Amino acid sequence: MIQPERIQLLSKKPQQQGKYVLYWMQQAQRSDYNHALEYAVQKANENGLPLLVFFGLTADYPEANLRHYAFMLQGLKEVVRTLYRRGIQCIIRTVSPEKGAIELSKQAALVVTDRGYLKIQRGWRKAVAERITCPLIQVESDVIVPIEHVSQKQEYSAATLRPKLKKQLHTYLVPLARRQVNIDSLSLKVQPSLKIEKACNLLRQLPINREADPVQQLEGGSSHAEYLLNEFIEKKLKIYAEFKNNPAEDAQSRLSPYLHFGQISPLAIALAVYNTDYEGTDVFLDELIIRRELSMNFVYYNSSYDSFNCLPAWAKATLGDHITDKRDHVYSLQELEKAKTHDPYWNAAQSEMVATGSIHGYMRMYWAKKVLEWSRNPEASFNQLVYLNNKYSLDGRDANSFAGIAWCFGLHDRPWKERAIFGKIRYMSSAGLERKFPMTEYVRQVEQKISAQSSPKRTP
Burial level of 211, CB count in 10 A (0-12/13-18/19+)? exposed
> Average pLDDT in the 253-274 region?
98
Per-chain mean pLDDT for the chain = 95
In the predicted structure, residue 458 carries a pLDDT above the cut 70: no
| Residue 133, C-beta contacts closer than 8 angstroms, at least 6 positions apart | 13, 16, 105, 106
Residue range(s) occupied by CATH 1.10.579.10 in the chain: 308-453
CA dihedral 119, 120, 125, 130 (to 10 degrees): 90
Please tell me the predicted confidence (pLDDT) of residue 457: 55
In the predicted structure, residue 459 carries a pLDDT above the cut 50: no
Please tell me the predicted confidence (pLDDT) of residue 430: 98
Please tell us whether the domain made up of 1-141 is placed in CATH 3.30.750.24: no
Is the Cβ–Cβ distance between 274 and 289 less than 8 Å? no
Q: 158: number of CA atoms within 13 Å, CB side?
A: 13
Please tell me the predicted confidence (pLDDT) of residue 194: 72
Separation between Cα atoms, residue 413 and residue 234, nearest integer Å: 33
Smallest CA-to-CA distance from 269 within 358, 176, 357 is with: 176
Predicted confidence band at 111 (pLDDT cuts at 50, 70, 90)?
very high
Burial level of 103, CB count in 10 A (0-12/13-18/19+)? middle
Residue range(s) occupied by CATH 1.25.40.80 in the chain: 143-177+221-301
Please tell me the predicted confidence (pLDDT) of residue 204: 82
pLDDT tens track for 234-256: 999 999 999 999 999 999 999 99
The CATH class for the domain spanning 308-453 reads: mainly alpha
Predicted confidence band at 201 (pLDDT cuts at 50, 70, 90)?
confident
b/e sequence 313-343, b meaning 16+ C-beta within 10 Å: eebbebbeebeeeeeeeebeeeebbebebeb
pLDDT tens track for 150-191: 999 999 999 999 999 999 999 999 999 999 999 999 999 987
Is the Cβ–Cβ distance between 235 and 91 less than 8 Å? no
Is the Cβ–Cβ distance between 110 and 255 less than 8 Å? no
Separation between Cα atoms, residue 133 and residue 14, nearest integer Å: 8
Q: What is the CATH number of domain 143-177+221-301?
A: 1.25.40.80
Separation between Cα atoms, residue 382 and residue 371, nearest integer Å: 8
Predicted confidence band at 259 (pLDDT cuts at 50, 70, 90)?
very high
Residue range(s) occupied by CATH 3.40.50.620 in the chain: 1-141
Predicted confidence band at 202 (pLDDT cuts at 50, 70, 90)?
confident
